[in-house]
Structure 1
Amino acid sequence: MTRTLLIPMALAAALAAGPAVAGCKVEYKAKQDDPLRLDYGTVELPDKACASKEAAAAALAPKLKKEGWTLLAIVSILGSN
């Protein structure tokens, strides 16, 4: 099976258009099915989403879902800006 790593550009543009003040950067893994597409990305999230991987997942998963992606994992929280 071939796996393709793609960056969801629409998601990056949508998140970049959000609030200018972010609390941390989060690395994540996400997927789309049929055909399988995998993404590894970094996104800025507000302070309230930086306390734990669970909080980051709760903030990021709905945004990814709107773009047709399923969050697989929060890899790391890179810290405050």
Structure 2
Amino acid sequence: MFQIGRIIMPSPLLRRLLAALVLVTLALPSAAAADCYVHYKAKRTNPYGLHYGIIRVSGGCPSSPGGLVQSRISSGGWTILNVVKVTTSSPSSSERRSAGSHYYR
């Protein structure tokens, strides 16, 4: 650090490090709040049916995604069979086609 009059100025290296720290700090909340995609299989008994679906969860991946999926699909008479995959990557076009009307349920 060096002093100009009564103002203490950080060195150029310290200014760069502080700027980098601020940028990293600002980027962290957006990374932590990334959307999560839960791929699942479900069944219904009356009328009988099976489906593969994908739901999007805002704010990161849940520790227990099965309960979250069940709460979203139960109103249609569906019961979750299993969680296939949990990821922060957007579903591929083939996964979206496979999910059909159960995409982002």
TM range (shorter): 0.5 to 0.7
Unpaired stretches in structure 1, ≥5 consecutive residues: 1-20
* Counterpart residue type for residue 78 of structure 2: W
Count of residues in Structure 1 that have an aligned counterpart in Structure 2: 58
After the TM superposition, which residues 33-72 of structure 1 pair with which residues of structure 2 at under 5 Å, given as runs? 33-47=45-59, 50-52=61-63, 55-72=64-81
Structure scoring higher RCO (CA < 8 A, sep ≥ 6) equals 1
Structure holding more strand per residue: 1
CA RMSD of aligned residues (A): 2.3
Runs of 4+ in 1 over 4 A off after TM superposition: none
Structure holding more helix per residue: 2
CA radius of gyration, larger in? 2
TM-score (ref. length: structure 1): 0.58
Tell me the percent identity.
Answer: 33
**Aligned twin of 1:16:** none
Unpaired stretches in structure 2, ≥5 consecutive residues: 1-32, 91-105
